[in-house]
Amino acid sequence: MAAVELPPRIRKQSIVENAEKARSDRDVLLQMGFSKLRAEKALASTGHQGVDIASNWLLSHLNDPTLDEVTPRDYIVYLCPTGPLLKQLQLFWYKSRAQTEWNLAHNYLPHITLCSFFKVPDNKVIEVARNIRVIADRMAAQMPQKLLLDYYNASNFIGIFLNKQNVPIMKQVINEFAAEAKKIGVDVEPHKKELHISLAYQFKSEHQKTLESLSKEIDLKSEAHWDLRLYSRDPRCKDKQVRRVRYKHKPQAPDELDLIHGDFIFADPADIEKSRDQWHLGTSWLTGLSGMVPLNYTECTSQTDMWTLHRSITMIGSDCGMSTLNGVQDGATPSSSHHHQTHVDKLMSEIPNNALYAKVNKVADHGACSRPSPQVHHGPRQIYIIRHGERMDFCFGRDWVLNCFDQSGDYIRKDLNMPKHLAKRVGGKHDFRHDSPLTTQGHHQAFVTGEAMHEKDIVISHVYSSPSLRCLQTATQILRGLKTSIPIRVEPCLFEWCGWYTNQMPKFLATPQEYIDYNINVDNTYKPYLPAKNLTTEESVVDLYSRSYHFTKQALHRHHADGENILIVGHAGSLEVCSRQLIGKTARSANDFHAIVRNVPYCGVAVCQEDKKSKWQLIESPILSFCHSDNKKLMPNLLEM
């Protein structure tokens, strides 16, 4: 007799089931030996994402001095846009940071604040999160189909205000939430100021016009869904500057903090500002431990990157009523903090937990967990100069641009060695004519080169690249092979000899969106040594040597204090012109220069090393060369002849 299958059941996850799950997670943690206070604190800190994440959080915080203190987290309710409007706001955040400086609006994701921060005991968090769902259901029928927005600009403040027509309904939402919270002993104070999204505030007066211009590019009529979200933060983070760890660091003194790549450090801005040696006191988000931190090993980031999302429900939009406990529903455009949430989960899950079921009510003597070996450069300072990988126009001829795009300007792949996808350029396909991308092989060459550097424990701390697309793609793949995410500094000084471009100079990637489309992580704050507009087709080879040498010296001087390695990704000539005068030799003649260039392979590597007398010399590359033969195209009629 054939087996009889059970019919599928339609299960509805209710609020009661959520509460029961939270209780069961706590009970499991109690059975594992954690105290009630620690179990509830871990679940609240991780957004009730389950036992695994909570237990990993506890293990990483075993030496946190506040672990056994009753310190409720700070909670806040935001109304956050998603969809096309959010993308425009994120682009404004990106451009404003790149073209001006960090201002206080950059500390947060795009949002409308509905209330002040409020405290919630750890054992009541699930009930407060439940109230977000209750209010959303209660108010659903009264919600408008769209929120109307008004642009506002004043001295030292630029923002988008909620139109007066929509203010009452949003005030009612937060008032009813406050009333529900009051029933369980939680005091919520609705926001008394006008409801708005802050685009920029507390910035320098000289940046006013630039910020105004950028902000006016935002289309306030763009489609948007609006999510009601409950966030929380560690109370110790209040009024602190948040910095993301870029490089690992193993303490070399008892008071130094062990830095884990991807962790967040929060610190008093005054301590950072008054530091004389670029070291400051900071606290690790991942472990709760405090210690001295080298400023140049971290970078400023948004405070909300470190927050925990507890509940998100779409209040306005086609997905109205969709909910998630710890993330964004399918189809929504996540904010940067949601990308961070996934990253945080990964960080926590990677922490060793071989003591997971030990009785850990008392702090272990040996510390929270073993940490990975830090990537710290030791020994003489080095500079790596690498040519880009195989380029499309040299492989398939310059006519590839004419053959690989349809009438609409969409790219069509004609060979496996061509990239699967090419994002559109501002100037259309013609921008590729003088600014060629890498082939598939070129991407592979660059990645393998970076991988080889990683296997040799080569640590790169600063990356500079020519603005050519092929160089930026090469730098990206090398960093991927190195297993690091250092932002690339785009430097026009590293472009090849302009004398090869008799008609016109290339049009490089110029807009933030283009860098995003090509997955190139650039340093938005970097100011080039030489603007691209200053490059001219009339330059001589002597001029090329001069600009390349002066930039290399400037970069080495800039990073002299930290003693770290530099990577330069450029062209065939870069290996020569960036190193020749650095090692004390004179520039070659034009004929000799061209002879050198013809013999530099794709992803060729030149390494210069500084000796004890601060003199530079060429040394043999520590990584193997990457040699391969040509692979011609098989002609269809070859076998019929």
List residues with catalytic annotation. 387-388, 571
Burial of 21 (0-12, 13-18, 19+ CB in 10 A): middle
Please give the helix or strand (H or E) that residue 209 lies within, else none. Answer: helix 208-215
CB 170 within 8 A of CB 97: no
- Please state, in angstroms and rounded to a whole number, the distance separating the CA atoms of residues 598 and 500: 14
Q: DSSP alpha helices (H): ranges in 461-580? A: 469-482, 512-517, 541-558, 574-577
For 547-593, give the secondary structure using H, E and C.
HHHHHHHHHHHHCCCCCCCEEEEECCCHHHHCCCCCCCCCCCCHHHH
CB 513 within 8 A of CB 481: no
Q: Strand, coil or helix: what is 458?
A: coil
Q: Which residues pair with 242 in a beta bridge?
A: 266
Q: Strand, coil or helix: what is 597?
A: helix
The total of other beta-carbon atoms located within 10 Å of residue 244's CB is: 19
Q: Which residue is listed with tokens 């086609």?
A: 318
- Please state, in angstroms and rounded to a whole number, the distance separating the CA atoms of residues 309 and 631: 52
Q: Strand, coil or helix: what is 201?
A: strand
Please give the helix or strand (H or E) that residue 171 lies within, else none. Answer: helix 167-183
Measured between its terminal Cα atoms, the distance across the chain in Å is 63
Residue type, 543: D
Which residue from 463, 471, 446 is spatially nearest to 574, judged by alpha carbons? 471
CB 284 within 8 A of CB 367: no
- Dihedral sign, Cα of residue 207, residue 208, residue 211, residue 213: negative
Please give the helix or strand (H or E) that residue 619 lies within, else none. Answer: strand 616-619
Quick one: CA torsion of 205, 336, 462, 105, rounded to 10 degrees? 10
For residue 432, give every residue at least 6 positions away whose Cβ sits within 8 Å of its Cβ, in sequence order, or none: 392, 401, 422, 425, 469
Please give the helix or strand (H or E) that residue 138 lies within, else none. Answer: helix 125-139
